[in-house]
Amino acid sequence: MLKVQRNSKGFTLIELLIVIAIIGILAAIALPAYMDYAKKSRLTEVFETMGAVKTGCTAYNAEASGGISGAAWTTTALVTTNTGVTIPGHYISAMSVAGAAANPFVKISTTLTGIDTTINGSVLVLTATDANLQAWSWNPNGTGGTTLLGKFVPKN
């Protein structure tokens, strides 16, 4: 007589479906978090560049006769010439600096590109909050011309 042996090697269909469901749930949570992380890492280059321009504006204000009041550097080339900072074109499509003579402050505006379709075309603004250009503030979304989503704007 032949004896039938039942070896349980492998997984049942239910066990495989449960594992697939768990992996799907984890992917649904992790993928959006990863995408935001990737966007923030690309924006870091923009923040560093704007910080360098901020330092260049402060130096220009200290060294130039009459300071930076009334400055209107409307192109990236003018910003580079006056601040000595090379603006990388990876994620910045345009940068300008505007100074006000009546209320001395400087506003650095940057238009973003090459980051993500939801961010491309957004504007990020960094504004000096005192006449000596020693205190600066990132404008939150909807103020000062910033159109970048609030979760991506650096904290002060």
137 touches 127 (CB < 8 A): yes
pLDDT at residue 9 tops 90 = no
Predicted confidence at residue 144, as pLDDT, reads: 80
Mean pLDDT score of the chain, rounded to an integer? 87
**CA-to-CA distance for 56 and 60, rounded, in angstroms?**
6
Predicted confidence at residue 71, as pLDDT, reads: 77
pLDDT digits (tens, 9 = 90+) for 113-131: 999 888 999 999 998 888 7
Name the DSSP class of 99: E
Q: What is the pLDDT averaged over residues 57-80?
A: 84
Q: What is the pLDDT averaged over residues 100-110?
A: 75
**CA-to-CA distance for 58 and 52, rounded, in angstroms?**
10
pLDDT band at 4 (very low <50, low <70, confident <90, very high): low
Helix axes 76-83, 13-63, angle to 10 degrees: 60
**Highest CATH level, class, for 18-152:** alpha beta
